[in-house]
Amino acid sequence: MKRYVYINDDNLAKDIYCDNRISNRKYTILNFLPKNLWEQFSRFMNQYFLLIACLQLWSLITPVNPASTWGPLILIFAVSSSKEAWDDYNRYLLDKKANEKEIWIVRQGIRKLIQAQDICIGNIVWLRENDEVPCDLLLLGTADPQGFCYVETAALDGETDLKTRSIPSACMGIDVDLLHKIKGVIECPSPNKDIRRFDANMRLFPPFLDNDIFPLTIKNTLLQSCYLRNTEWACGVAVYTGNQTKLGMCRGIAEPKLTAVDAMIDKLTGAVFVFQIVVVIVLGIAGNVFKDKQGRKLWYVQYPKEGPWYELLVIPLRFELLCSIMIPISIKVSLDLAKSLYAKFIDWDVEMVDPETGIRSNAANQAISEDLGQVEYILTDKTGTLTENKMIFKRCCISGRFYGNESGDALTAKVGQFHTRHYPKMKKPLYVLLLVCAWFWRIKTEIFLILTSMHLQCNMKYLTLWSSHLTGKECLWWLGNAKAGNFSSCQKEQMKLFFLLPILVRTFAEAVEQYAQMGLRTLCLAWRKLEEDEYQEWTSMFKEANSTLVDRERRVAEVCQRLERDFEILGVAAIEDRLQEGVPETIEILRKAGINFWMLTGDKMSTAIQIALSCNFVSPEPKGQILIIDGKTEDEVCRSLDRVLLTTRITESESKQDVAFVVDGWALEIALKHYRKPFTELAILSRTAICCRVTPSQKAQLVELLKLCDYRTLAIGDGGNDVRMIQQADIGVGISGREGLQAARAADYSIGKFRFLKRLILVHGRYSYNRTAFLSQYSFYKSFLICFIQIFFSFISGVSGTSLFNTVSLMAYNVFYTSVPVLFSVLDKDLSERTVMQHPQILFDCQSGRLLNPSTFAGWFGRSLFHAIVVFVITIHSYAFEKSVMEEVAMVAVSGCIWLQAFVVALETNSFTIFQHLAIWGNLVGFYAINWIVSSIPTSGMYTIMFRLCEQPSYWITMILIVATGMCPVLALKYLRYTYRPSRINLLQQSERLGGPILSSGIIEPKSRSSLDKDIPTDSVYEPLLSESPSATRRSAGPTQRLDSVQSQSPPHSTHTRKDN
């Protein structure tokens, strides 16, 4: 659809188009409560807890006061809602500030000062220097006589360099005093989010111009949120307003990413729910049987002889309410709080601050920190990510002669002197072409400075320049001595056309290959003469193609291709883009951690291979082997792919060489479309891949391919062409580099340099995974513990579903007693950061999910069952036969649980700080303080209970007996394992605690995943944090396996284990 904007006439657009009011709010005052509640209860766990809370309102079946569930539920919802409301209020304040900003506009020929929200389509907006652009404007005039202005687009695309914008040719020469009277119509596309394209036409009404059509591009616009710089004033007509601007269309809430830990917790929660239903059914049947056979005979129970039709459901529903605490109601809030702290640790890390720029690391996504510790594939861009993106003119080849050497560069080789003596006719065209290229791309490099120092007579004011991207080639055209595309009648010299194209002459082909093998980026230059008649004919065709609104880019490309023929080659230039500091070391360490690397670049194959070798992506021969997949047809690609796959299978089975495959964009397109299964198998078998000449969409496809194979992927880049890949990956990392902040803004994490990725993964990722694994399983452990005691109590209470604990105890147990100590586990470190960086192989445990899986969960389940038996048996035998009320028995049982959990947290803590000591033992003191206060309230139902218990020596003896009985077996088994069957982590911990030298890496040499599963002892019941499960090994596809599941978009299953060393 099209939009027609009438300049300086807002009456026609008021009723059709929206005003300029910006709204990024998610809620309003009226819809906040219902909308937020709908979002909260759209989650299964919240629906479950709401059902339990509603059932507790039925007095016939509830064993406890409904407040025991409603209290924590309301508290959790209140915390989540308050956070949402606060965030939305901050968005409202930002919107209010932007909407009420005062802006000068022209309305009915008069300048007025209005609020930004009152701007309408068609209004002429006047901006002064350093003003923010309030909406999308089409430039009509500037303070510059040539019609140029400069804008800062950092808020739009993250690029800090100033951009040049110009007024349309139709507005050239219009006096400033007449701009407020200008009339016309703009034909433009409907609102869209493409910030790089604006294909439109403009017609000005008489007396300005006589209805001629003039094409418009993005270069003629000022987009919302940009700033006018270095220009006294500028004015433009509003074409898109409010949330329909290009920036407004780009806004949106990204889909939340589900981490591997979250997925495992969901599965475990489902398993617990099934177990809970089974327990409820069994106990419900047992309760009804006991009631019919024994209960009705007991006079003090007072069961009626005949009950209502739903009587059989009463006891099962009571047990459902009792067992509902198996699923911890506070687990989501606890995990969210812990993940927020993980993100803050990344933001606060001073060792990840770039000393050159002062850029700090930033965690934009606070929910996926633990996934950093499970990364298995890193897909990285090259330019600006691995390299500095600083281009240095190193070498060149002119007329078959080579200049530059390893110690110097082409600028010190006196190229100009030699060329002047031997090839005087080619001197000026070659240098002028390099100068034009540097000026056109605004590149302030050594090339630009050295050429301008040669005093070349080239007036940039009278150059007509075009650039295009045709069939993968970067083209630059320079038409000399032309003004506004027209020849002067007195200028008869022929026009010169320069551009970049593949070299055809053997000498230059050799130069390109030689420079590429050195890791340099090559630039080939050529020219030909262009006759005036040919130029005039081509110009008319170009103007026609450039004024169309439909498929403008393709039509312009077709016209441009008419000039690509009969060129004379001038030379080859080569520039060096040096690697960033620490890149090879970072890649080497992460490869030792079992992480596979894929380099996705737009460079040619030979350049990409050389960079990969220098970055330690693959070892040099004979230890490493590079296999190339090439071809232009399906048959060629098929044969090449089969050959590489066969070689990789043989090499993989022998485990002697480091194999990497190389594929270009054309072959990759064919492989992904027609040979997806064998290419997927090759991707799984190879630790390294080098993909060159790939497009942004192909980068995203490769990420999706690895995700379908159930691997955790991390994509890292620094430019706008990496955004799709970054957003597609499980984890996106952006580098705040010279190409702007687009990648950093779209990423989950942003860092200043590539080398910080090592610390981000090995330190923050690993610690986050370990802490989350403990926190989640401990949350289930404490819920199982109290639930099992309730179940055991039912066997001595006639299987009636009666609760041992009162409402206050249950509420405080879930919210206060057991939540505070475990939250400080976010400070725990099983190994020092230095040890972790020295032994990256220990990341294998995180990658394979060995700290959180069904086996380790069963260990925590068994521990909770054992501790519940200890607490219940000792409590009953200590107090059941005395003259004790049930409230005293319940308080003794709760006390035993709190004491046991304090020692459990202390036992699983590896590094103590003052905060952890205060949390663990201070929480124990707080437990008694709270209960002493509650016991002093006559109406609390616990009046004087804690006072009486604390006065009894038997109470303290019971606590000591519970702790000793519950913890001694755990400590004994832990000691035996640490002494006789230590894991890799245990060995490193022992070395750290003894203060001796850290063990050599030979003790923990990297092994294949299968061998790790066999060699490392497991004890899932008594060592849940360090137990390792063969079932946790990630799935891979083997060499002989059919990958039909990949073809059907589902992860493949396999018996093959990918080599990790």
Residues involved in catalysis: 381
Q: Give me the phi and psi of 188, to 5 degrees please.
A: -135, 165
The phi-psi region of residue 740 (left if phi > 0; otherwise alpha if psi is between -120 and 50; otherwise beta) is left
Residue 167's nearest CA partner among 194, 134, 144 is: 144
A 10 A CB-CB count for 89 gives 12
Are the C-beta atoms of residues 892 and 949 closer than 8 Å to each other? yes
**How far from the centroid of its chain's Cα atoms is residue 335's Cα?**
19
Containing 70, the helix (H) or strand (E) segment is helix 67-99
The residue behind tokens 């003790």 is: 1003
- For 55, the 3-state DSSP assignment is helix
User: Which two structure tokens, joined as six digits, stand for 55?
Assistant: 């059932």
Residue 1007's nearest CA partner among 1060, 938, 943, 950 is: 1060
Dihedral sign, CA of 64, 69, 70, 75?
positive
| Residue 576, beta-bridge partner list | 392
**How far from the centroid of its chain's Cα atoms is residue 83's Cα?**
22
Torsion of CA 788, 793, 799, 805, to 10 degrees: -90
Q: How far apart are CA 22 and CA 10, in angstroms?
A: 19
Q: How far apart are CA 825 and CA 772, in angstroms?
A: 9
Bridging pattern class, strands 521-530 and 233-240 = unpaired
- For 533, the 3-state DSSP assignment is helix
The residue behind tokens 């959790």 is: 76
| Alpha carbon distance, N-terminus to C-terminus of the chain | 56
- For 239, the 3-state DSSP assignment is strand
DSSP symbol at 657: S
Q: Tell me how far CA of residue 216 lies from CA of 17, 139, 165, 325, in angstroms.
A: 21, 10, 12, 65
Residue 38's nearest CA partner among 54, 50, 21 is: 50
**How far from the centroid of its chain's Cα atoms is residue 913's Cα?**
32
Angle at 510 between CA 505 and CA 513, to 5 degrees: 125
Bridging pattern class, strands 387-398 and 377-380 = unpaired
Proportion of the chain in helix, strand, coil states, percent, rounded to 5: 50, 15, 35
Q: How far apart are CA 443 and CA 524, in angstroms?
A: 17
DSSP symbol at 623: T
Angle at 884 between CA 881 and CA 889, to 5 degrees: 90
Residue 134's nearest CA partner among 144, 143, 146, 124 is: 124
DSSP symbol at 43: S
Q: How far apart are CA 978 and CA 440, in angstroms?
A: 67
Q: How far apart are CA 194 and CA 64, in angstroms?
A: 59
Q: Residues 6 or more apart from 957 whose CB is under 8 A from it?
A: none
Within 13 Å, how many C-alpha atoms sit on residue 1057's CB side?
18
DSSP symbol at 853: S
Torsion of CA 219, 225, 229, 234, to 10 degrees: 60
Long-range own/partner contacts, residues 742-745 (CB < 8 A, 24 or more apart): 742/157, 742/158, 742/159, 743/158, 743/717, 743/718, 743/719, 744/158, 744/362, 744/718, 745/158
Q: How far apart are CA 777 and CA 261, in angstroms?
A: 11
